[in-house]
Amino acid sequence: MKLFKPQTAASATLLSACLAFASGCSPSNTPATATVALPQQSAAVLAIGQELQPPVAKKVPKQLTTHGDTRTDNYYWMNQREDPEVIAYLNAENDYTKQVLAHTEELQEKLYKEIVGRIKQKDESVPFKDDGYWYYTRYEEGKEYPIYARKKGSLEAPQEVMVNANERAQGQSYYAAASMDVSPSNQLLAFGEDTVSRRKYTIRFKDLKTGKLLPDAIPNTTGTAVWGNDNKTVFYTMKDPALRSFKIFKHTLGMPTAQDQEVYHETDETFGTFVFKTKSDKYIIIGSGSTLSNEYRYLDADKPNGEFKMIQPRERGLEYSVDHFGDKFYIVTNKDGATNFKLMQTPVSKPGKANWKEVIPHREDVLLEGIEIFRDYLALQERKNGLPQIRVRKWADPKTDYYVDFGEEAYTAYIGTNPDFDSKTLRYEYSSLTTPNSTYDFNMQTKERELLKRQEVVGDFNPENYEAKRIYATAEDGTKIPVSLVYKKGIQLNGNNPTLLYAYGSYGYSTNPSFSSVRLSLLDRGFVFAIAHIRGGQEMGRQWYENGKMLKKKNTFTDFTDAAQFLIDQHYTNPDKLFAQGGSAGGLLMGAVVNMHPELFKGVLAAVPFVDVVTTMLDTSIPLTTGEFDEWGNPAEKQYYDYMLSYSPYDNVEAKAYPNMLVTTGLHDSQVQYWEPAKWVAKLRDMKTDNHTLLLHTNMVAGHGGASGRFERYKETALQYAFLLNLLEQNQ
């Protein structure tokens, strides 16, 4: 039994935020003669009188030649995580950030207390029932990590603690537990642990009857274990040195891991592999996926020592995912030009695409994102006009299908955890920019819904005090770009409102307008918060994604700057009060837009930014590179090299004025290596012509997701918010 559902095809192809701060911020166009190697002590920040000077990274020119074009990278030397000089530079930048923002420490502490003060200290998730047990997570007062627990038979039964992450995290600077997988007998638990933040998990096993850990431990995995129905065989995914999921192994409890059998090897470096169990518990599925194609194999879970059989071999451009019901597999696919995907079925005995028959047709205006199968009902996760929808139909009478009504202008809703195959109740999650996260049970027969829990926001929060809306900016090519807004009621559209504009815009990931109690610290200080639903996401259907990737990637960037200009034109804000925020691929967005239109923004928050696009995509040893050629292009081909080079933030830094910027990263980041933002900041310092603040903060014990723990992570948020408020001279 797997307590977390696998991704469906549509989601699986997608693939988880100048006023000087000191009395004198020095210009960053430091003369070349001042470019020196860093001192060995960590505090390599120079004080000249009362004026703070930023670290100056040494230059070691490295020539990189591709297609006859030579680029010089002066900071390539930072690509050495264990080099003491690299660590010294990162520590120096941290020291500089701390000193520049020293006068905001009281504000940071106030913001941090505000944010964590809204979190209910003693909290519990809504339990869900599976195979006679109720599963849930709970938090204890003041504790950072969850306790994973269950009760047998009823919610009044005694609690069984499966994993207390607080105990497991003791002595660790970072801790993450993953994927609680319970055996079919309900007696054994497999779970993953990461103590480095590189997303390389060790799978451990626990006897839930005795409470003791078993000696079996499997390192370097994705953290997920899939049980055979014999209660002793598990399948798991191994990662290669570039962190690609590349092999599936079979482990027998009690046997040395060195004897584990390799059952599948994904040799194509542009694909990753994974394994899961169908909701019916009948089949174990091995999947392989790239940006543009998928392939699946299946095995009877009652026969874990059998051979996997092919469902449909991979074809470039053919995307599909698989679930099981009765004697059929159900396939969500883009077959035959179904850009927005359709649902098909095929006999388990003859699963190839020649036997696929249509169940839900393709629709030009509706994206099919996924399905949830019940014995009597089928629930579909769809998206139309940028908003998620849930559609329900009865197997016995398909013509009676209907949509769940949510009743708000901008919201997010998605199918939740529904492991009970026989249930007539659909669990779904809902929130909006003003409505806290809410869990509902929906009776698919009577259409009655029950609110099981709404996130409690501790304090005087009242959703009626805030207003949300959706507006549309016009892109330079005439495309209408949705923008979701939230702000405190009573503000005037006089062009003088501080505004934070957020976007992501890659991998077909749709940024839904959902609630954030953290965000209240800005809204209550007069901010407008805006989400630009730019191309590269999938909000407006699959074509929205296709028009924001590869050789159309620049649409993502121009959509964002057009949305920013629209907010200014509509008198929500002005360039002296407009801020931009993005992380990871959204950090690439930040790097691109400050090169294109730095004059639009007062300040920028760039988190774990993917900014050295060309160099990274040319290096296949770097995690994630090979699997993303169909997202960005392969720069080994000249047309993609030239196009990437035209927007790569690091390569396009110029001698000009840039906005105030706070850049954050993690030393152990497995998705965007720390050296990308570090190099970017060093190059910006050397070339920019303004006196605006430029700061780099590196979390030296964390990775892509930042600090672990439900409270600790918000210290960085408080730092970011203090950075914004200080630029506005709002130090309260």
pLDDT of 399 reads 84
Mean pLDDT of 507-530: 96
pLDDT of 702 reads 65
Cβ neighbours around 403 below 10 Å, total: 12
Look up residue 629 and give its amino acid: F
Q: What is the pLDDT of residues 661-711, one digit of tens each?
A: 999 999 887 778 899 999 999 999 999 999 999 999 998 876 666 565 678
Residue ranges of alpha helices (H) inside 325-448 are none
Least confident of 333-342, 607-616, 711-720: 711-720
Would residue 584 show up in a list of annotated catalytic residues for this protein? yes
Q: What is the pLDDT of residues 491-513, one digit of tens each?
A: 998 999 999 999 999 999 999 99
For the chain, give the percent of residues with pLDDT over 70: 91
Confidence label for 520 from pLDDT (cuts 50, 70 and 90):
very high
With CA atoms as reference, report the closest residue to 90 among 617, 702, 708, 679: 679
**Residue 50 pLDDT > 70, yes or no?**
no
Distance CA 294, CA 321 (A): 7
Point out the catalytic residue in the list 669, 670, 686, 692: 669
pLDDT of 81 reads 87
Least confident of 171-185, 203-217, 520-534: 171-185
Mean pLDDT of 398-409: 86
Residues linked to residue 309 through DSSP beta bridges, in sequence order? 298
pLDDT of 52 reads 85
Confidence label for 598 from pLDDT (cuts 50, 70 and 90):
very high
Confidence label for 242 from pLDDT (cuts 50, 70 and 90):
confident
**Residue 32 pLDDT > 50, yes or no?**
no
Q: What is the pLDDT of residues 604-626, one digit of tens each?
A: 999 999 999 999 999 887 766 77
Confidence label for 34 from pLDDT (cuts 50, 70 and 90):
very low
pLDDT of 732 reads 67
**Residue 107 pLDDT > 80, yes or no?**
yes
pLDDT of 20 reads 24
Select the more confidently predicted residue: 5 or 252.
252
Mean pLDDT of 436-445: 96
Q: What is the pLDDT of residues 227-236, one digit of tens each?
A: 999 999 999 9
**Residue 17 pLDDT > 50, yes or no?**
no
pLDDT of 13 reads 33
pLDDT of 431 reads 96
pLDDT of 709 reads 67
Point out the catalytic residue in the list 362, 597, 668, 704: 704
Distance CA 590, CA 79 (A): 22
pLDDT of 43 reads 34
pLDDT of 706 reads 56
Q: Which long-range contacts (CB under 8 A, 24 or more apart) does 422-427 make?
A: 422/374, 422/375, 423/374, 424/374, 424/376, 424/377, 426/372, 426/374, 426/377, 426/379, 426/390, 426/392, 427/126, 427/128
Point out the catalytic residue in the list 321, 584, 648, 670: 584
Distance CA 193, CA 197 (A): 10
pLDDT of 46 reads 40
pLDDT of 708 reads 57
Give me the chain's average pLDDT, please: 90
pTM of the predicted structure, to 2 decimals: 0.86
Distances (CA, A) of 622 to 241, 613, 636: 9, 12, 15
Residues linked to residue 320 through DSSP beta bridges, in sequence order? 333
Select the more confidently predicted residue: 5 or 497.
497
Distance CA 411, CA 135 (A): 27
**Which domains are delineated in the chain?**
32-116+467-727 (3.40.50.1820)
Distance CA 700, CA 607 (A): 14
Least confident of 70-74, 266-270, 470-474, 579-583: 266-270
